[in-house]
Amino acid sequence: MDLFNSALGKNITFVRPAYFIISGFIGIPNAMYYYIFLFFVYIISVVGNTVVMTVIYLDHNLWTPKYIVVFNLAFADLFGTTALVPKVLDLFLFNNNRISYSDCLTFFFFCYVALTMQVLNLIALSYDRLIAIIFPLHYQVRVTHRFMFSLIASFWLFAIAVCLMAAGLLTRLSFCKSSVVVNSYFCDHRPLYLQACNDITPSRVFALFLFVILLWLPLSFILGTYVCIVIALTRVATAQERLKALKTCTAHISLVAIYFIPILISATMQNIHPNDRIINHSLTYVFPPMLNPIVYVLQTQEIKTSLRKLLKITKQSKITVSKVLIR
């Protein structure tokens, strides 16, 4: 802490601009079409995640530890896209790309909490699959409702804590310009602290910490769980049993690929135009919340069965109501 204080400087005056200017998609040709695309992606994300949450809530057969995490993932996706897309459309669709200092930090906080929860949910799902396949006889004991609720609660506390720390470090930055341009489509962490004119070392170090703790460690843990799963499956007697076990992982593997591959591509693409980077970065944020519910509806037999059952009940209810009204 003393090191941070010395790096931040003592007895200094922090200059905070009245507003930030989000550069966003202003320099991108035909950006209007991209806004329309974002709007439809948002609608699909809202509908899809709401459907998944509703199906899990209404079907008591899905009140299992695994689907508690799936429900939480759908909620985090819905929360994240709602925190981001409407504000982005408001900033650029109506030529209002100025955002106040406090609103910018709030915008940053909610977006990063949602991103953090998305990756932490993938960790919980990978642990669930690890225990279910390697220790099936101990699954009911190790992965209980209480354990999963406690794990999710701890994840939310962790996400809120690290994002508050990041926001707190941003408040320790001084901005010397009267109008500060943020080279991103929202109040992103790195473009924000790079505009400061005092020592940005604490924010830079914390950004590296976030990159490791929210990308490389989760990815390493998830890959490690699947290495253990593959090793365990090599000891299974029949190929049919191996295939059956792997099918229970297909939805989770798809979610991991949807989340991590675009981020890794974005991180490794260094020599690209800033506009292309902004579009690529925005797609890595909005695509997973849109695709996650589609993956679970199409690849998870339990949700497909529950959805069919609920639609059948709804259809029968409408028929019954119609008959009553006719009589």
β-pairing, 180-182 with 98-100?
unpaired
Q: Closest by alpha carbon to 74, among 229, 235, 289?
A: 289
CB atoms within 10 A of CB 10: 6
Per-residue pLDDT at 12 exceeds 60? no
Whether 63 is in a domain gets the answer: yes
Task: Name residue 238's amino acid.
Answer: T
Q: Name the β-bridge partners of 180.
A: 20
What CATH number corresponds to the domain at position 273?
1.20.1070.10
Q: Residue 183: which region, alpha, beta or left (left: phi > 0; alpha: psi -120 to 50)? A: beta
Residue 25 sits at φ, ψ, to 5 deg, of -100, 15
Confidence of residue 326 (pLDDT cuts 50, 70, 90): low
Residue 6 has pLDDT above 50, yes or no: no
Largest CA distance in the chain: 82
pLDDT band at 2 (very low <50, low <70, confident <90, very high): very low
* Cβ(162)–Cβ(120) below 8 Å: no
For residues 275-279, average pLDDT: 77
Question: Does 305 map to a domain?
Answer: yes
pLDDT higher than 90, residue 262: no
Residue at 174 is within a domain: yes
Calculate the dihedral angle through the C-alpha atoms of 90, 95, 96, 98, rounding to the nearest 10 degrees: 120
The answer to whether residue 3 sits within a structural domain is no
Q: Is residue 187 part of a domain?
A: yes
**What are the pLDDT digits (tens) for 59-88?**
888 899 999 999 999 999 999 999 999 999
Mean pLDDT, residues 148-156 taken together: 96
Cα first-last separation, the chain: 76
- Number of structural domains (the chain) is 1
Task: With respect to residue 2, please indicate whether it lies within any of the assigned structural domains.
Answer: no
Domain that residue 237 falls in: 13-326
